[in-house]
Structure 1
Amino acid sequence: MTRVAAIDCGTNTIRLLVADARVSPGGAVRLVPLVRLNEIVRLGQGVDRTGRLDEAALERTLAVVADYAGRCRELGAQSVRFVATSATRDASNRAVFVEGVRELLGVEPEVVSGQEEARLSFAGSLLGADGEGAFPAADAGPGVAAGPDTGSDAGVAAGSAGARPDAGARPDAAVGMRRLVTDLGGGSTELVLGVDAPDAAYSMNTGSVRVTERYLADGVTPAAEAAARDHVRALLDRAGAVVDLGATRELVGLAGTITTVTAHALGLESFEPEAIDGARLDVGTALASCEAIVHSTAAERESWGYLRPGRRDVIAAGALVWSEVIARVVEDTAARGHRLAHTVTSLHDILDGIALSLVRPAGDPVVDAR
């Protein structure tokens, strides 16, 4: 057994997972979570406009890194991986942040590409959606044929060399059920298509914080909403040239925006992981909740017990992005004769993918540890 610690530092949140990883004689990995924490620090505040990490945002984030470092030591984590994504990728002064993390945590933080972010998200998602026992590997590993690393707004086509549909795999794997995993963050949105490993992935340079700052900072007016939707649709056009959205048989959503939409659609009073994880929403219900959130009032957002204060000001933009993804997939699948009927929400995401990467080489199967 190995105790691992995974840290995911995004545009809006920084999260920690400490888990015991148990490897079976057959090579399957099981994660037993000990601690899972989530702090909203808005590291990406203003990065879209200035191209730099804000000093106050750096201070907030490094304070949480110091706390996480202490928790990793207290729990005896044997292996630690720190992954930073969109905001840090785009910042000209990211070296300041990298050095601060290195000093506090004692490991080299990784500012990963959009492609790597997509692969880790897909790997983590296989632990959660539908809650079905054992899954083959999600990491494309050597099967990925990546082009130049261009950070966000970058696509990668992948072969299926990493997929090993052995005993205990998803029942739909045998018939090629292709899942489109969407990881909707503050600064980027990853779209990853595959069965047991990514066939193709694209990182769109948009998310809840970025859309808010560019288009909705003064509220959701008709003109601002139209401009934001045009922006997302243009990026989906680019994504569709790399990822065959019409091949989607199952649309899986990850991260805070999508869990919030799910909680709203389910009519929850508070954040209930058991109800949200694996929840299936028909597309009409999901789109209706997105619409309600996009046009919600401040008082309504404050009344939702499942919506944390640090997400209230960007949730309209996040719901807008998710609604456009759903609508595009519905359109493209309908054109193929198998119109998408529902979405699936997973609480297992890039954080779990980071933890898995610490204990298994590409190609090994994983087992749901919930």
Structure 2
Amino acid sequence: MTRLAAVDCGTNSLRLLISEVRDGHVRDIYRGMEIVRLGQGVDATGEFDPEALERTRAVLERYVGIMKIERVEAVRMVATSATRDAGNREEFFAMTSRLLNQVAPSRGAEVISGEEEAQLSFAGAVSDLKELPGPYCVIDLGGGSTEFVVGTRDGEILGAHSSQMGCVRLTERIMRSDPPTSTEIEIAGDYVRERLSEVRAIVPISSATTFVGCAGTFTTLSALAQGLEAYEATAIHGSTLRFDALRVLCDDLLAKTSTQRAAHPVIHEGRADVISGGAVVVDGITTMIEEETDVHEIMISEKDILDGIIEQLARQRGELD
């Protein structure tokens, strides 16, 4: 029996997964998510805000305490879009190394490429969806970037791309009014279409038959679509959202203020002010899929890059074939 941990530090959230590997099987022990908004202002200033760094440090310190209690033997922490852009990132790296070394020998947070981020997200998202027809297209919509990866049932990657669009990036750069104005929504939509033209050129979207959406915007939209009164991961994982219903839901979110959104029990207060940016990205993605394929729905996965990291660690240690 081995216990492994994966930490994902994105633009908006800091997440932890602890899993136990026994006899070739992986079982979740703990999943945690906190909104730390590490990427706050990075798009404008090029540096981490000191308050954002402190929020991140406090949550990571708490995660380290949980890892110690659960007797974690190996941990990998990845840092994505915001960290690639920050000029004072060495301060962040030093902090993560100091904390993670209390659990196991660690280099601290690693900045991974968009392509590796996409591959890890793909491995995690499709880990228990193999009964569905492939190829799969996994779409991981984050705060600063959105990863697209198309791959086969046996894990062969046919194409991957990290696009510089996400719910925080669009909100801070374009959609600054609350609620966003029609002009802001139009400009954000144009920006998303430009980024998606790059995706179409790089990733074989038209070859995919099953589309899988993961990360907070997609999972929150699923909770809203199902009318859940509380966030239920088991109800969200594996759910399917039709594009026509998604567009109605996204339009409703765009019309609301962040205070109105935060009043809904399934919308995390730290996501309420940026999910409108995510809604614009989702609208663009669904339009692209319908233009490229005959698909009109997307499956939602609670599994993502964290699960991919755990699988990678387990294979490196010889715990999985």
The TM-score bracket by the shorter chain reads over 0.9
Aligned partner of 1:65 in structure 2 is: 60
Which residue identity does 1:285 align to in structure 2?
A: A
> What is the identity percentage for the equivalent residue pairs of Structure 1 and Structure 2?
42
| C-alpha distance in structure 2 between counterparts of 1:320 and 1:92, whole Å | 28
How has the CA–CA distance of structure 1 residues 365 and 321 changed in structure 2, closer, same or farther, with 3 Å as cutoff? farther
| C-alpha distance in structure 1 between counterparts of 2:248 and 2:135, whole Å | 25
Aligned partner of 2:245 in structure 1 is: 285
Aligned partner of 2:123 in structure 1 is: 123
Aligned partner of 1:179 in structure 2 is: 136
The alignment status of 1:268 with 2:223, answered yes or no, reads: no
How far the C-alpha of 1:299 sits from its partner, in A, is 4.6
The alignment status of 1:354 with 2:309, answered yes or no, reads: yes
Which residue identity does 2:212 align to in structure 1?
A: V
How far the C-alpha of 1:172 sits from its partner, in A, is 4.7
Which residue identity does 2:42 align to in structure 1?
A: V
Aligned partner of 1:212 in structure 2 is: 171
Tell me if the contact between 1:286 and 1:343 (Cα under 8 Å) persists in the aligned partners.
Answer: no
How far the C-alpha of 1:210 sits from its partner, in A, is 0.3
How far the C-alpha of 1:294 sits from its partner, in A, is 2.0
| C-alpha distance in structure 1 between counterparts of 2:131 and 2:56, whole Å | 42
1:118-166 Cα distance to aligned partner (Å, 9 max, x none): 011001101344xxxxxxxxxxxxxxxxxxxxxxxxxxxxxxxxxxxxx
Tell me if the contact between 1:128 and 1:346 (Cα under 8 Å) persists in the aligned partners.
Answer: no
Matching residue within 334, 345, 352 for 2:300: 345
Correspondence 1:79-158 to 2 at 5 A:
79-106=74-101, 107-108=106-107, 109-129=109-129
- SS of residue matched to 1:15: strand
| C-alpha distance in structure 2 between counterparts of 1:294 and 1:340, whole Å | 25
Computed over aligned residues only, the root mean square deviation of the Cα atoms, in angstroms, reads 1.8
How far the C-alpha of 1:207 sits from its partner, in A, is 0.3
| C-alpha distance in structure 1 between counterparts of 2:259 and 2:89, whole Å | 36
How has the CA–CA distance of structure 1 residues 328 and 116 changed in structure 2, closer, same or farther, with 3 Å as cutoff? same
The alignment status of 1:320 with 2:280, answered yes or no, reads: yes
| C-alpha distance in structure 1 between counterparts of 2:204 and 2:98, whole Å | 43
The alignment status of 1:244 with 2:199, answered yes or no, reads: no
How far the C-alpha of 1:300 sits from its partner, in A, is 3.2
Tell me if the contact between 1:179 and 1:248 (Cα under 8 Å) persists in the aligned partners.
Answer: yes
| C-alpha distance in structure 1 between counterparts of 2:54 and 2:316, whole Å | 35
Structure 2 gap segments, 5+ residues each: none
How far the C-alpha of 1:263 sits from its partner, in A, is 1.2
Aligned partner of 2:215 in structure 1 is: 255
| C-alpha distance in structure 2 between counterparts of 1:23 and 1:85, whole Å | 32
Aligned partner of 1:142 in structure 2 is: none
| C-alpha distance in structure 2 between counterparts of 1:292 and 1:327, whole Å | 18
Which residue identity does 1:342 align to in structure 2?
A: E
| C-alpha distance in structure 1 between counterparts of 2:273 and 2:165, whole Å | 16
1:222-264 Cα distance to aligned partner (Å, 9 max, x none): 1111110110100000111110222221110000000111111
How far the C-alpha of 1:302 sits from its partner, in A, is 2.6
| C-alpha distance in structure 2 between counterparts of 1:215 and 1:323, whole Å | 16
TM-score, normalised on structure 2? 0.93
- SS of residue matched to 1:309: coil
| C-alpha distance in structure 2 between counterparts of 1:297 and 1:94, whole Å | 33
Task: Using the TM superposition, name which of 65-74 and 205-214 deviates more.
Answer: 65-74
| C-alpha distance in structure 2 between counterparts of 1:172 and 1:9, whole Å | 30
How far the C-alpha of 1:171 sits from its partner, in A, is 4.1
The alignment status of 1:5 with 2:5, answered yes or no, reads: yes
Q: Which has the higher contact order (CA 8 A, sep 6+)?
A: 1
Structure 1 gap segments, 5+ residues each: 25-29, 130-169, 334-338
How far the C-alpha of 1:81 sits from its partner, in A, is 0.6
Aligned residues: 313
| C-alpha distance in structure 2 between counterparts of 1:311 and 1:255, whole Å | 12
- SS of residue matched to 1:312: coil
1:252-306 Cα distance to aligned partner (Å, 9 max, x none): 0000000111111112212111211100122211222122222223453133110
Where do 4+ consecutive residues of structure 1 move more than 4 Å? Answer: none
- SS of residue matched to 1:42: coil
The alignment status of 1:32 with 2:30, answered yes or no, reads: no
Tell me if the contact between 2:259 and 2:272 (Cα under 8 Å) persists in the aligned partners.
Answer: no
| C-alpha distance in structure 1 between counterparts of 2:222 and 2:247, whole Å | 10
Aligned partner of 1:307 in structure 2 is: 267
| C-alpha distance in structure 2 between counterparts of 1:359 and 1:203, whole Å | 25
